[in-house]
Chains A and B, each alone.
Chain A
Amino acid sequence: GENVEQHPSTLSVQEGDSAVIKCTYSDSASNYFPWYKQELGKRPQLIIDIRSNVGEKKDQRIAVTLNKTAKHFSLHITETQPEDSAVYFCAASGNAGGTSYGKLTFGQGTILTVHP
């Protein structure tokens, strides 16, 4: 099955700096890669996702890049703010028409702390 590794496990930055979180996946058939943000005691919330037919996607201060050859994808947050502090999870999913049928495999999470 799919295996997703996420690094780093903790990340501490100063307000205004950029933060980068990286994930690698094992199944070359995976084609959907969402990122979730989870604040303490809250539900995971989707912040951005990318499909395998594009290499980069941006949404304001957040961007995701995908390298299918190397099987890794990254989350980039620019101009970080204290409210960006949370746990971030990457995930990967395979062919929605195949046996994996939309199942997500999550990374272990990154605790991001943005210091004012």
Chain B
Amino acid sequence: NAGVTQTPKFQVLKTGQSMTLQCAQDMNHNSMYWYRQDPGMGLRLIYYSASEGTTDKGEVPNGYNVSRLNKREFSLRLESAAPSQTSVYFCASSGLRRGIGNQPQHFGDGTRLSIL
């Protein structure tokens, strides 16, 4: 039972390149989230998926796209990377569903992304 798994762990890109960050969870959770973490700014929500087949914007969605491929997988794509997107990216999942209230979010180990 691995929890939330993110790949890759590290990546260096050049400005303008594209890439997809992968996230998978094995806890049968409905909800999944993508955050970025920058020094002194905590974690900021990029996109989330309340359930399979749905996605919504978070606080900082510009420059990103997401796909909820199935219940287990939620990917984050940078179409044209910019230096301002240098950050640590965390994926999270929770067992949240309507009617039972908020549930804890469980985080992956993160992807450290540098854009030159």
Residues of A near any B CB (own CB < 8 A) = 1, 6, 9, 31-32, 34, 42-46, 49, 51, 89, 93, 96-97, 101-109
Contact = CB atoms under 8 A, between A and B. Distances in A.
Contacts of B44: 106
B105 A45 contact: no
Nearest to A108: B42
A46 to B, nearest CB: 5
Contacts of B48: 101-103
B51 to A, nearest CB: 10
23 contacts: A1-B59, A6-B42, A34-B104, A43-B108, A43-B109, A43-B110, A44-B107, A51-B101, A89-B42, A89-B43, A96-B96, A96-B100, A101-B31, A101-B96, A102-B31, A102-B103, A103-B33, A104-B33, A104-B45, A105-B59, A108-B42, A109-B40, A109-B42
Contact of A93 (B41, B42, B43, B102): B102
A43 B104 contact: no
Contacts of A104: 33, 43, 45, 105
A32 B110 CA distance: 24
Interface residues of B, number: 29
A101 B50 contact: yes
Interface string B87-111: 0001000101011111111111110
A105 B99 CA distance: 21
Contact of B90 (A44, A46, A103): A44
Given A102-B50, A102-B94, 8 more contacts: A31-B101, A34-B105, A45-B107, A46-B105, A97-B98, A101-B31, A103-B48, A109-B42
B61 interface: no
Residue in A51, A96, A102, A108 with the greatest tally of chain B CB atoms within 10 Å: A102
A105 to B, nearest CB: 8
A115 to B, nearest CB: 23
Nearest to B54: A101
Nearest to B56: A101
Interface in B33-90: 33, 40-45, 48, 50, 56, 58-59, 90
A44 B43 contact: yes
